[in-house]
Amino acid sequence: MAFLDHVRTCNRHDLSKFRPFSVEGKWIGWVRHDVAQRLAAFPEAFRVSIEGVSLHPALATPEARSAAIDEVARELAGHWGTPQLRGERYRVAARFGDPALMSIDRGVVSLFGIRAYGVHANGLVRRPDGMHLWIGRRAKDKSVAPDKLDNMVAGGQPSDLSLADNLVKEAAEEADIPAALAATARPVGAVSYCLEDEWGLKPDVMFCYDLEVPEGFTPRNTDGELQGFTLMPVAEVARLVRDTDAFKFNVNLVITDFLIRHGLISPDVEPDYVDLVGGLRKGW
């Protein structure tokens, strides 16, 4: 196994199975062909052709579009077993920072192949014997990657919060980090990938942060999503990423980015260095 294997795993998809999904003429996602055929049964909400899927132009406001997709998603879940709505809203736009075209429930983001965003914070401790990272272990009852290792703080980006506010919220819930400390997290870039899952595509972007915490601070989970934390030397974290599948699939990418930025993966030593740097920022 190698660092690059994780990048390849997170970018496995076959676009020939999908057709574009658009709103107001703006391309925002991908819909699998069999899902598109199901959507054709809802002409009041969708226009479906071999070239693509679009929302009905009569749905002229973000609120109307969001409500229409929710209604159809409930019907599909009840009659076809597609993912259930989860009650958490994600903002939908053609590109990050553009005005919102609508919002969509987190549960059906991949069903429509919409790019989702999240925040990930590397919990960094500088000790006399070198850099260490606080590593969480996910709860055994998580629906995604149960019992896998994780970043100290990570979470999806809801529609009603800024990135900075979401990081503070997630830091409090996942690691009991005081808001003043969480606010010192330094934005260091973004990692992206496009993975095909059971129902569609996950073209995700993870905004990365480095959060230096005092040596005497110990994170404590408060929302039940993590079993606990271990402070690991960076070299051990790197070994686990390089040689194992111990981490949640996309967290491998965030940590690989950390190792590159801090000079812990060297182009003189790592033969896949150029492919790694490019592969961490894949589009669709």
> Tell me: the pLDDT tens digits for 243-276?
999 999 999 999 999 999 999 999 999 999 999 9
> What pLDDT sits at residue 282?
82
Placement of tokens 């958490």 in the chain: 88
Tens digit of pLDDT for each residue in 203-230?
Answer: 999 999 999 999 999 999 999 999 999 9
User: Angle at which helices 3-10 and 251-261 pack, to 10 degrees?
Assistant: 130
H or E element at residue 179: helix 179-182
Residue that the structure tokens 């009603």 belong to: 160
- Would you give the DSSP letter of residue 111? G
Predicted pLDDT at 72: 98
Q: What's the angle, vertex CA 235, arms to CA 179 and CA 220, rounded to 5?
A: 30
pLDDT at residue 283 tops 90: no
Position 86 pLDDT exceeds 60: yes
Q: How do 26-32 and 46-48 pair as beta strands?
A: unpaired
What domains are there in the chain, each with its CATH number? 3-11+116-279 (3.90.79.10), 15-112 (3.30.750.160)
- Residue 284 pLDDT > 60: no
Residues 68/57, Cβ–Cβ less than 8 Å:
no
Q: Hey, how many other C-beta atoms are within 10 angstroms of the C-beta on 5?
A: 13
What is the pTM assigned to this prediction?
0.96
Residue 113 pLDDT level (bands cut at 50, 70, 90): very high
pLDDT at position 191 is 98
- For the chain, the average pLDDT equals 97
- List C-alpha distances in Å: 207 to 37, 157, 184, 254, 257: 34, 10, 15, 9, 11
Tokens of 170: 């997630």
Report strand pairing: 46-48 vs 102-105. unpaired
